[in-house]
Amino acid sequence: MPISRAPHRLLRAATGCAVGVLALVGVGVPVSIASAAPAPPQAVTISSTGLKPGAIKHVWLIILENKSFDATFTGLNQNSYLWKTLPAQGVLLKNYYGTGHSSQDNYLAMVSGQAPNEDTQEDCAISDKLIGPNSDIVSKGNLRTDANFGQMDSPANASQPSGANAPLGQNGCTYPTDVPTLFNQLNAAGESWKGYAQDIGGAQTPGSTSFVPDTVPNREAATCAGPGTAANNPDTNPTSMSSNFPAGVTTFTSAQANDQYVAKHFPFPWFEGLTGAVNASGPDTPPLNEPSNGGTNCDANHIANLDSPTVGLVHDLQSAATTPAFSWITPNNCSDAHDAVCHGNNLSGAFNSNGTPNYNSPTPFDPETTSPVNFTGGLYASDLFLEYYIPLIEQSPAFKQGGLIDVTFDEAFPAFTYTGNSFNNANDFGPTSSDQPNFTSSIISDTAGENLFGRNVHFEPTGPNSTLGTNAQGDQLYPGPGNNAFVDRPPVCTQTTPALVPADCVPGIVRGGAGSPPGARTDAGATGSSASNVIADNSIVADDTGRQVTGTNIPANSFVGAVSDIGPNFPTTSSGAADTGSFQLVDQNGNAADPTGPVSGITLSAEGDPSDLAAGQTPDPLFNATLPTTGGGDTGSVLISPFIRPGTVSDVYYNHYSWLATMEDIFNVKSGHDRTKLAAGTVSGGLDGQGHLGYAAQPGLRPFGLDVFNNPFGGRPGPFQLDAFNVVQLPQPLWQRMSLAVATPLLALTAGAGYLWYLRRRRTALSGRS
């Protein structure tokens, strides 16, 4: 055999061998190598999230408090970790909305899909009593015939003139046993979970250098870390949230120095489906179900102090086997950014001088045993919390196995944007540098958002207990999920005794922003002329719209129309304005109106109820009672996972109901075994048979999809296409799905084997000749 032909023989041999080996290992051969026809298409529906079932094996939810997207992800604050670092590691949801104001209703909605009532909107400030029995769950019909199917209809509404929206203290805050939660669904699906919270069962007291167990014995001793003593039960012995505190307790709804945990931010104790119901003689009704891995919903293996060395987060992260499938993490009222000044430890002492977390001193992985160097709260404190714990999660075996970290906020308090002051001066870097807040952001602080049937909408279902009802004049009678928290309203209920005026209003719950309707105001600096209907007024703000305007050369019956606040300005004097404001002068029909001459200073009227105007008050002819205060505002959210491309952004509207649907789909809870019929639906099937609870079962509601899980094959390219909200994986030979790291050596191996085969044949041939 001529040596010169050896390479050709070698090539043929190697090719033949490679084909043979590939055939042996069952790998589909690309058409370019083999002429075999591809198999007929067999599309495989993956899931609504775009992920293969079971792809995400572990979820950590870290929920923070009361910040708007403007305040967190646009650079207003120098919170370097939340704003700069985390979005660069994952996806930033620019339009993620809370479902109401204030805090607690958001937490409860996230885990159950239940809409707010006045008591949950006010953080259960009066009593943690039961909202009502199972019979008050809307159980007739179905999702198609009744949008409130499955919602808890507060029986307190029945005594109201309106039939809805009972005042604070009358609704209750705890749901009866037939209202299931995500955790019941995980139980039935055989998935593990745990609720971690800072300071449950103990805390570091100021001035001490060690963790003190049970610092305030009866502050969260109720079942599942509920408020009050172990004797608390919402049925017969509810805890008073505002008086008659146990010894050592100064507040249940705010932090105290030796215990910054607040039960209103921890959803578990507010559902008897998890805690069970207790009557005067003892346990009455058991929980809906118990964890699949043993124990009870409220035992130490499921409700845990975050830093416990035996059942806490770091302990559990040591191996994937000890890490729950779902971890709910509630920082305390300091570390969640709630308190501007922390009552206790803010973890500022848990970092080395170079800024890295100190995981070892004085007690390993317990930052609350360090002495804080300051007591700064807000986003400063939440950054410390995130910087300490998220690296631990990211380095854990469970995260690498298929983890998802979700950092979000419960609701959006308005950032400093009414007058354009929340703009940043550090917008030259970061993934959201193009996100410049503007005056409309202030309205977003009260609005809703979700995606229905592929369309972003600015509304959400209000539920039966917090409706957006109006009277005949268009005045809003009830606050809606947004609770009128940040928008001035024409006041109603101006008379409460001896009779309500108007007769169907609800005392105390309809009010203007900050609790009072706007009074008359003089803007001395306003200027204008007959040449334009725009009045320059640096004091004008968005919710002045509709107030009557009077002044020299202002036509009669003129009102504030569209408001514009442009900024930021950086005032160089104390009296300087931080924005440039103006508004259009309009008549009562909303048509532009020109001043009759120069304008120098104006007066805005006080607003009042059209049906009961006081002296000096005017109605708001432009008031649209159906538009604002429909939700919890845009908080934004950031998610990190191998299934998410770092540094990406989604503009799709999501809210807490979308989040719940996403978790239910990720863990495929509909495959669970609990099909016992409840007042409405079942634990595993939810309300829609697809495992969605409450308003997570809204027809057409979009869970997080490919815009969020934008790397659905975890780094491996794979052909897929969108089919409505489903991702359909196309048929694909294994060859194409193999990573380069596997394919290249395998090819090399087959080539080498072919070469050896050639050498062996050649040696045999030569031996034969010799």
Partner 1 sequence: MSSLVRNAPARSGPASAITAEVRVGRLAAFVMLILVVLALAGCGSAPHHPAASKAKHFGGYPSFLPRNTLNYHSDTVLTGTVQRPALTSQGDGVEVKTPAWSVLITVTGPQVPGEGLPYQAPTTTCTWVVTMSDATGSVPVSPSDFSSIDDFNHVYWPTFVAGQPQPPKILRPGMKLSFELRAVEAIGEGLMRWAPDGNNIVAKWDFVVEND
Which 419-478 positions form the footprint of partner 1 (CB under 8 A)?
419, 421-426, 442
29 counts as binding partner 1 under rule CB under 8 A: no
Select the residue interacting with partner 1 from 35, 40, 574, 615 (CB under 8 A): 574
Q: Which of residues 650-689 bind partner 1 (CB under 8 A)?
A: none
562 counts as binding partner 1 under rule CB under 8 A: no
Cβ proximity to partner 1, 122 vs 307, nearer residue? 122
Cβ proximity to partner 1, 188 vs 249, nearer residue? 249
The burial of 499, by beta-carbon neighbours within 10 Å (0-12 exposed, 13-18 middle, 19 or more buried), is given as exposed
Select the residue interacting with partner 1 from 115, 200, 224, 577 (CB under 8 A): 577
Q: How far apart are CA 310 and CA 196, in angstroms?
A: 13
The burial of 638, by beta-carbon neighbours within 10 Å (0-12 exposed, 13-18 middle, 19 or more buried), is given as buried
Work out how close the CB of 427 gets to partner 1 at its nearest, in angstroms, rounded to a whole number: 11
Helices (H) and strands (E) in the chain, counts: 14, 27
Cβ proximity to partner 1, 393 vs 696, nearer residue? 393
Work out how close the CB of 687 gets to partner 1 at its nearest, in angstroms, rounded to a whole number: 32
699 counts as binding partner 1 under rule CB under 8 A: no
Select the residue interacting with partner 1 from 12, 400, 673, 677 (CB under 8 A): 400
Work out how close the CB of 395 gets to partner 1 at its nearest, in angstroms, rounded to a whole number: 4
* Parallel/antiparallel/unpaired status of strands 96-97 and 654-655: parallel
Select the residue interacting with partner 1 from 107, 418, 623, 695 (CB under 8 A): 418
11 counts as binding partner 1 under rule CB under 8 A: no
Give buried/exposed letters for 344-360 (b at 16+ CB in 10 A, else e): bbbbbbbbeeeeebeee
Select the residue interacting with partner 1 from 33, 340, 566, 734 (CB under 8 A): 340
Cβ proximity to partner 1, 253 vs 466, nearer residue? 253
Q: Which of residues 204-263 bind partner 1 (CB under 8 A)?
A: 241-242, 251-255, 262
170 counts as binding partner 1 under rule CB under 8 A: no
126 counts as binding partner 1 under rule CB under 8 A: yes
Neighbours of 414 (CB within 10 A): 23
Q: Which of residues 626-655 bind partner 1 (CB under 8 A)?
A: 640, 642, 646-647
Cβ proximity to partner 1, 676 vs 739, nearer residue? 739
Work out how close the CB of 130 gets to partner 1 at its nearest, in angstroms, rounded to a whole number: 19
759 counts as binding partner 1 under rule CB under 8 A: yes
323 counts as binding partner 1 under rule CB under 8 A: no
Binding characters for partner 1, 344-373, by CB under 8 A (x = yes)? -------x---xxx-xx---xx--------
* Parallel/antiparallel/unpaired status of strands 303-305 and 282-285: unpaired
Select the residue interacting with partner 1 from 47, 49, 74, 77 (CB under 8 A): 77
For 609-645, the three-class secondary structure string (H helix, E strand, C coil) is CCCCCCCCEECCCCCCCCCCCCCCCECCEEEECCCCC
Cβ proximity to partner 1, 138 vs 168, nearer residue? 168
**Cβ contact 373:353 at 8 Å:** no
Work out how close the CB of 119 gets to partner 1 at its nearest, in angstroms, rounded to a whole number: 10
Cβ proximity to partner 1, 592 vs 742, nearer residue? 742
107 counts as binding partner 1 under rule CB under 8 A: no
* Region for 82 from its dihedrals, namely left if φ exceeds 0, alpha if ψ lies in -120 to 50, beta otherwise: alpha
Nearest 5°: CA angle at 620, between 614 and 625?
Answer: 115
The burial of 768, by beta-carbon neighbours within 10 Å (0-12 exposed, 13-18 middle, 19 or more buried), is given as exposed
Work out how close the CB of 229 gets to partner 1 at its nearest, in angstroms, rounded to a whole number: 19
Q: How far apart are CA 476 and CA 491, in angstroms?
A: 8
62 counts as binding partner 1 under rule CB under 8 A: no
Q: How far apart are CA 606 and CA 350, in angstroms?
A: 51
How many chain residues interact with partner 1 (CB under 8 A)? 113
* H/E stretch holding 17: helix 6-24
Work out how close the CB of 135 gets to partner 1 at its nearest, in angstroms, rounded to a whole number: 29
* H/E stretch holding 7: helix 6-24
719: nearest Cα among 57, 56, 41: 41
Work out how close the CB of 128 gets to partner 1 at its nearest, in angstroms, rounded to a whole number: 13
Long-range contacts of 143-146 (CB under 8 A, 24+ apart): 143/687, 143/688, 143/697, 143/698, 143/699, 144/699
Q: How far apart are CA 521 and CA 606, in angstroms?
A: 8
Q: Which of residues 372-391 bind partner 1 (CB under 8 A)?
A: 374-381, 383, 387, 391
710 counts as binding partner 1 under rule CB under 8 A: no
66 counts as binding partner 1 under rule CB under 8 A: yes
Token code pair at residue 577? 């304005």
Within 42-170, where are the H helices? 69-72, 86-89, 103-112, 118-121
296 counts as binding partner 1 under rule CB under 8 A: no
* Parallel/antiparallel/unpaired status of strands 193-197 and 326-330: parallel
732 counts as binding partner 1 under rule CB under 8 A: no
Q: Which residues contact 748 (CB under 8 A, 6 or more apart)?
A: none
Work out how close the CB of 688 gets to partner 1 at its nearest, in angstroms, rounded to a whole number: 34
Q: How far apart are CA 730 and CA 727, in angstroms?
A: 9
Work out how close the CB of 742 gets to partner 1 at its nearest, in angstroms, rounded to a whole number: 5
Q: Which of residues 578-607 bind partner 1 (CB under 8 A)?
A: 578
Cβ proximity to partner 1, 614 vs 749, nearer residue? 749
Work out how close the CB of 682 gets to partner 1 at its nearest, in angstroms, rounded to a whole number: 36
Cβ proximity to partner 1, 80 vs 626, nearer residue? 80
